[in-house]
Structure 1
Amino acid sequence: MLYQNYVGRFGKALLLGGVCAGLLAGCNQAPTDDPDTVDGAVGGDTSLAMKNVAITAIVEHPALDDVRKGVIDELAEQGFTEGESLTVNFQSAQGNTATAGQIAKQFVADEADVIVAIGTPSAQSVAAATSTIPLVFSAVTDPVEAKLVPTLDGSGTNVTGGSDALPYEPQIELMRQIIPSLKNVGYVYSPGEVNSTIILKNLKEKLTPLGINVLEAPAQRSNDIAMAARSLEGKVDMIYTSTDNNVVSAYESLYQVAKESKIPLIASDTSSVERGAVAALGVDYYSLGRETGKIVARILNGEKAGDIPVYTPQMLNLYVSPKNAKEQGTTLPQALIDEAKEVLE
């Protein structure tokens, strides 16, 4: 089947030290008036200087937290260790786009060497705030549609990064394996998130020719997620959730509605399974963070952001929960359970 072909192709995500000794040596050198000395780096070699990476996320939830951890771990492996050769300043916008804009302006004023923006709203805020400081986005579904880059092959600007775009065919196959008679799919989303509206548009384009309807349930804030889900009771066979940040950050409330209404939740964020989804086929966000960290390291080592292509994962992971399925009125096929990377009880 198509889904199995994708799982076979993408399989299980691959997870992809040392600190510059000269930096420590530089701390013991006598003061110098050499104008080419920068933070202990002598003779114009700025590679030994302390680097400043600013990281912002639109909100904190497991997927985005994994990205941040992956970035920092990869930078350490590349020789940029926090507290030794690297300063990291992390700020969360707590789901507020106005706050995201304020954080972006502050990072620009601080003259960070690289700004890492996790999530589409944060990336858009940073892009609006600077056209010179390198911006490396991550967990952005469609960076072209979000107007962050003109092409994935190298922007020619100060922007590059890592996308979490997913192919739709295996997602749809997963839905139909769990609900063979699928006719109506509910979609809870934030209308203010570009990535979510893109997914809604594409879902309709893919599902309508198959005779499957998409019923949308917009929720402006995280507090509105449960109410939006309840509006789908009696109308849908399942609810599909994307990497919408407001939805993911309030997933427990969505889970409660799914249990009470017996509407299975199927997700594209694998961390959502331990928080209530029946199954999820998606990107390993820690691995995405590691790949994003590699891009940041390349820029810190002198490459231009605009010369680096956008990274898009080529592997997907399947997580399932027979327990959540039973609570939500369905049963997972054994073949699906056997294919899963993780089976959560």
Structure 2
Amino acid sequence: MLIVRHLWDGITNDKRGKGVMRVNWLLLIMRMVVVSSLLLISTEAVWAEGKKDNVVIAAVIYGKHNVTTLDGFKEGMKEKGYIEGKNTIYLFHGTFQNLENLDADIAKVVSENPDLIFASTTPVALAVKKATSNHKIPVVFGPVNDPMSAGVVAEQRHPGDNITGVMLTDSIAKQLEWAIRIAPRIKKILLPYNPNDKSSVISVEKAREAAELFKLTLDARQVSNHKEIDILLAEFPDDVGAIFLPRDGMVMSRVEDFAKVANQKKIILSGTRLEMAERGALFGFGFNGFMVGKQMARMADQILRGRKPGDLPVETAEDYLSINLKTANTLGITISEHILRQAHTIIRAE
């Protein structure tokens, strides 16, 4: 700004005539081009200071359904100039399907000393935060149900430490409301959940509050592993009118199995993310994993350019309604046009 002002003063103070003024204007234009080039070079230098030529990002994911979040993250990073195989390396050794060896596996990831860790779902975010407490490797999490209640961050506006990310809205009550609007005769809902997953436990608490509000009976069943899910599916209760899959990585990974039972019993199945309807549920209301990934990418880009994770407020994901009309036909349910017009995605029968 001082350079520009100096140049402008040189022009406005010149009293030697129009010819000289025209020359001075030409000089001003040439000097402005030089200044702009210098500013551009300076900006690129600052950018380069906060971003390495080869960025190494480790991806730690709990539940196979969350791979779409990583896909969205990679797409968002690509849009920011991080090209996989060219200037960016992703360390991804597959998804975790149980929590027993999570700490040990994450310790191996930390030992690889990546520039940033992509942590998907609450259990992973908690474990990664613990593992990186001394290393201070930047961490971006998402989606996480309630990072404050779960202990991932202290507060939303100032997460602190080396971690930030994308949280979910408190939309469980809205999901139950959608279930009632679609199938008004529902009286009892089965909710399978993993008691070892803090996100799942929080979902159950919210669901109990919502069920009481809507005068529904909530049958919350603990399933600590896939074997217990198999037993629940084989011995499924007959007095249930709907199945509600909470924000639980292990439980949501079995959505196809729950959909099969729901179709056999002619009851509705709903999930807390958009993709659930694509995998057989009657409807899903909640976040879009791919879009959460892109949201995380914008935050990761800021961190790799020099921003401290703890100074970046935790962002909130948007909720979407998706409806599977093929499943509706199987169940013999007619969904009104009024409801369909409010859906973000409709999967139509072939």
TM-score with structure 2 length normalisation?
0.80
1:121 counterpart letter in structure 2: P
Equivalent residue number for residue 73 of structure 1: 75
Aligned to 1:31: none
The residue aligned with 1:334 is 337
Instruction: Name the aligned partner's letter for residue 335 of structure 1.
Output: H
One-letter amino acid of the counterpart of residue 120, structure 1: T
Query: Over aligned residue pairs, what C-alpha RMSD do you find?
Result: 2.0
8 Å contact from structure 2 (residues 165, 296) kept in 1: yes
Does the 8 A contact of 2:191 with 2:221 survive in 1? yes
Cα deviations across residues 256-305 of structure 1 (Å, max 9, x unaligned)? 21122222102222211122111111112111100101111111111101
Structure 2, gaps ≥5 residues long: 1-44
Once residues 277 and 330 of structure 1 are traced to their aligned partners in structure 2, the CA distance between those partners, rounded to angstroms, is 13
- Corresponding residue to 2:219 among 212, 215, 218: 215
2:169 corresponds to:
165
CA drift of 1:136 comes to 1.1
Q: Which of 169, 182, 196 is the matching residue for 1:178?
A: 182
Alignment of 1:312-323 (within 5 A): 312-313=316-317, 315-323=318-326
2:154 — aligned with what? Answer: 150
Q: Is the 8 A contact 2:322 2:344 kept in 1?
A: yes
Name the CA shift for 1:226/1:178 in 2 (closer, same or farther; >3 Å): farther
Query: SS state of the match for residue 315, structure 2?
Result: coil
Q: Percent identical across equivalent pairs?
A: 26
* Separation in 2, partners of 1:322, 1:76: 34
Larger Rg: 2
Q: Does the 8 Å contact 1:91/1:103 carry over to 2? A: no
Shift of 1:229: 4.3
Q: 1:221 to 1:329 in 2, by over 3 A?
A: farther
- 2:101 & 2:77 partners in 1: Cα distance? 27
In the TM superposition, residue 47 of structure 1 has moved relative to its aligned partner by: 3.0
Contact 1:217 1:229 in 2 (8 A): no
CA shift digits 1:211-245 (9 cap, x unpaired): 21111122122343243245553222211112321
1:15-40: per-residue Cα shift (whole Å, max 9, x none)? xxxxxxxxxxxxxxxxxxxxxxxxxx
- Matching residue's letter, 2:344: K
Comparing 334-343 and 175-184, the one that deviates more = 334-343
Higher helix share: 2
Does the C-alpha gap of structure 1 residues 45 and 323 become closer, same or farther in structure 2, counting only changes over 3 Å? closer
Gaps of 5+ in 1: 1-40
Question: Structure 1 residues 168, 256: closer, same or farther in 2, change over 3 A?
Answer: closer
TM-score, normalization: structure 1? 0.81
Alignment correspondent of 1:197: 201
Q: Secondary structure of 2:75's partner?
A: helix
Aligned length: 300
In structure 2, the residue corresponding to 1:79 is in which secondary structure? coil
Contact 1:120 1:195 in 2 (8 A): yes
Which residue matches 1:49? Answer: 53
C-alpha distance in 2 between matches for 1:250 and 1:211: 28
User: In the aligned structure 2, how far is the partner of 1:250 from the partner of 1:116?
Assistant: 23
Conserved in 1, the CA contact under 8 Å of 2:259 and 2:280?
yes
Q: Work out whether residues 274 and 285 of structure 2, in 8 Å CA contact, stay in contact via their aligned partners in 1.
A: yes
